[in-house]
Amino acid sequence: MRRYSEKITCGGLCIGGDSPIRIQSMTNTDTRDVAATVAQILRLEEAGCELIRLAVPDAEAAAAFAEIKKKTHVPLIADIHFDYRLAIASMDAGADKIRINPGNIGEKDKIRAVVAHAKTVGIPIRIGVNSGSVEKDLLQKYGGPVPEALAESAERNIDQIRQMGFDDLIISIKSSNVTDNTKAFRILAEKTEIPFHIGITEAGVGNRALVKSAVGIGALLLDGLGDTIRVSLTADPVEEIAVAQDILASIDLLPNAINLISCPTCGRCRVNLPEIASRVNAALVDLEADRRKRGEGKKLTVAVMGCAVNGPGEASHADVGIACGRGNAVLFRNGQKVDSVSEEACVARLLDEIRLLL
């Protein structure tokens, strides 16, 4: 069961409560370069990103934020560190949300100024707690950035801002240690109903990053925790979106998802199943992208199976599927056998059936 969280609005997009889990990313262009940043945001939008964060390191970046906002469509979040004046300037430039770590903003009066301005313009604040910037007294108390320190830091910052009369909050805890990250959120979930932004920070490159992100984000989602997610890759941020979509789809949390199941093959397989499955998968990626743009379509399970042991059963349990034999394939739709086709024709025939169900 999904954890209850308070519902907030960011640029017209509902977060928390019964809203879908939202996919977020962050630009890695220089925000001061308006053209490059807009181009990257438009690519992220096209890929299905719903919220995008931009670094605002100086006044020039804050001024550019206003121009970027005019040329893009999804809610934009200003990422602020150290200088509270940049948070205020970003809000005036049209930020739909700001992300701050109160610990590095400084004195309470500066935090209070940021909170007061967010209340005036009517936008939420995301509190970010990172394992690399936990308060010194908590590091001393717990002996390092352990889950208890991360959770207490989050709770402390939530209380501080709520005491200033502000409740439109999102909280994120980020650690590159999957176990610590998961434990910290589990601790915090017992203490607050504020929406959670989840992810594994600094996950790395390639398969290592994909696995860490899938395990860390997936574990929290299976616990019912998480209202927005970001997969953090050392790569083009557009790559993060497909991974996030796949994580959500794998646990039945993505609207319009097409779930492809295919057997790993064994010595009984008598067709080139890796090639067949790859061709089907490539076609499904395009079909999913098109459906998401239109906001249409139901969830669908497609099976591509390679032998007589589990193949017919798995294929018949899917919405549509094929069970391959020696040079041919049996086509199933909604549990019923509908056709028998050659290996060469099976992909085209399967895709025809899929399109009929979309």
What CA–CA distance (Å, rounded) separates 1 from 20?
Answer: 14
Residue where a domain terminates, one of 233, 250, 267: 250
Domain boundaries, position 339: 258-357
Residue 320: name the closest of 229, 249, 259, 254 by CA: 259
Are 340 and 324 members of one domain? yes
Encoded tokens for 197: 């932004």
Are 236 and 268 members of one domain? no
What's 72's domain CATH number?
3.20.20.20
pLDDT per residue rounded down to tens, the chain (358 residues): 899 999 999 999 999 999 999 999 999 999 999 999 999 999 999 999 999 999 999 999 999 999 999 999 999 999 999 999 999 999 999 999 999 988 788 789 999 999 999 999 999 999 999 888 888 899 999 999 999 999 999 999 999 999 999 999 999 998 888 999 999 999 999 999 999 999 988 777 888 989 999 999 999 999 999 999 999 999 999 999 999 999 999 998 987 788 898 988 888 888 888 999 999 999 998 888 777 777 666 788 999 988 777 777 888 888 999 998 888 888 999 888 988 989 899 999 999 998 888 7
Are 192 and 150 members of one domain? yes
What's 312's domain CATH number?
3.30.413.10
Are 132 and 223 members of one domain? yes
The per-residue pLDDT for range 243-285, each reduced to its tens digit, is 999 999 999 898 778 889 898 888 888 888 899 999 999 999 8
pTM: 0.90
Q: Which residues contact 310 (CB under 8 A, 6 or more apart)?
A: 263
Are 213 and 276 members of one domain? no
Are 335 and 190 members of one domain? no
Are 297 and 230 members of one domain? no
The answer as to whether 3 is a domain residue is no
- Structurally, the chain folds into a number of domains equal to 2
DSSP code at position 242: H
Residue where a domain terminates, one of 250, 275, 304: 250
User: Contacts by 150-157 with C-beta closer than 8 Å and gap 24+?
Assistant: 150/175, 150/180, 150/181, 150/184, 151/184, 151/185, 151/187, 151/188, 151/191, 153/103, 153/129, 154/127, 154/129, 154/184, 154/188, 154/192, 155/188, 155/191, 155/192, 157/101, 157/102, 157/103, 157/127, 157/129
Are 221 and 162 members of one domain? yes
Are 164 and 51 members of one domain? yes
Residue where a domain terminates, one of 205, 230, 250: 250
The answer as to whether 1 is a domain residue is no
The answer as to whether 69 is a domain residue is yes
